[in-house]
Amino acid sequence: MHPMYLDAMEFLEEERDAWVAFEPLSALSDEQLSRPVEGAHGWSGRDLMAHVLAWQAMALAAAQELAVNETSPTLARMDADWEARGGEVINAELQDAWAARSMEDLRAAFLTQPGELRGYLTVVPESRWLKHESHLRSFHDETTSHYGDHVADLQAILAAAG
C-alpha cells in the first residue's frame, strides 16, 4: 500500500528527497560505475542507474499521457505485462535495453529525467494521479518506494567506489 498525500507537493517533495540519495552516482567515474559490486547483487553503479531510470521512465511516460488524457496506456500495458510475464523477465529486458545506451546518454538521463518527471506531475490534474488510487500506487511504486528498495545496493556501490 502507498501513503496518502494531502497534495501534489507532498508527494513531489518525498520523491525528491528519496532521489537525492542516488545523486552521488553521477559523480563517479565511468570506470567506477562499470565495476560490478558483490554487495549489490553483482550490479555495477551503471546497472543501478539504468534500473531506477528505466522504471522512472515508465512513470514519466505515464505522466505525459495523464497530462492530456484521463488514462495512461503505459500504466495499463505495464500492469498487464507484469501480470503476464513477471518482474524478472521485464527487469532483464529493461536492463538489456538500458545497457545498450551509451554512458553519456545514461548520465544525461540521470541528470534530467527526475526533474522532467516532477515537472510533468505538476501539470497532471491531481484527480488523474494523486487522487486516483491505482495511478498513485504506480507512481509511488516506480519512484519513492522503488528507490527505497535499492538503498542497500546504492550504499554498497558508493562504498566500493571509495
CB distance 51 to 153 below 8 Å: no
| Domains of the chain (ranges, CATH numbers) | 8-161 (1.20.120)
Short-list 150, 154, 130, CA closest to 140: 130
Short-list 20, 43, 15, CA closest to 153: 43
Cα dist from 4 to 119, 137, 138, 140, whole Å: 20, 10, 13, 10
Q: Is the pLDDT confidence value at 2 over 90?
A: no
Q: Could you give the CA distance from residue 129 to residue 63 in angstroms, rounded to a whole number?
A: 8
What does the pLDDT look like over 3-39, one tens digit per residue?
788 899 999 999 999 999 999 999 999 999 999 999 9
Q: Is the pLDDT confidence value at 1 over 60?
A: no
Q: What is the mean pLDDT of the chain?
A: 95
Question: What number is the average pLDDT over the span 90-108?
Answer: 94
The predicted model scores a pTM of 0.94
Q: Could you give the CA distance from residue 120 to residue 69 in angstroms, rounded to a whole number?
A: 13
DSSP-derived letter for residue 113 is: H
